[in-house]
Amino acid sequence: MRNFFGNDLAIESVPDATTLRRFRHLLGKHALTQRIFDADNANLVAVPVHARGHHR
């Protein structure tokens, strides 16, 4: 997992817990969590993904 939200982990560090907590707080404060969830669901419906299981 070299790329994390547009950051190259070989060059930049992973965000610390405080940064992630602040980001989560801002998402909640501006009611963006549900909007992001809804947008993700819309994308998943628009482009169906077919999962294949492993067969033995």
- For 12-53, how does the pLDDT look when each residue is reduced to its tens digit (9 = 90+)? 777 889 999 999 999 999 999 999 999 988 988 887 767 666
At 44 the pLDDT is 83
The full 3-state SS of the chain, as one line of letters, equals: CCEECCEECCCCCCCCHHHHHHHHHHHHHCCHHHHHHHHHHHHHHHCCCCCCCCCC
6 vs 2: which has the higher pLDDT: 6
